[in-house]
Amino acid sequence: EGEKKMKEAQDEEKRKEAEKEAAEKEEAAEDEDEDEEEDNTVEEKE
């Protein structure tokens, strides 16, 4: 019983870690998109 609970806790920890990493990657991708958009607007102004 105790081992099962410990394994579930570890799985939960891994899942949270994976979700956090996925969120960080998504944010990084959004930041890159914003940078590209800014570059494009600067080019259009010139």
**pLDDT per residue over 7-46, tens digit each?**
999 999 999 999 999 999 999 888 887 777 777 666 665 5
Tell me the two tokens of residue 27: 């944010």
Structure tokens that stand for 10 in this block: 């570890």
Q: What is the pLDDT of residue 42?
A: 65
pLDDT at site 30? 85
Q: Which H, E and C letters describe the chain, residue by residue?
A: CHHHHHHHHHHHHHHHHHHHHHHHHHHHHHHHHHHHHHHHHHHHHC
Residue ranges per structural domain of the chain: 1-46
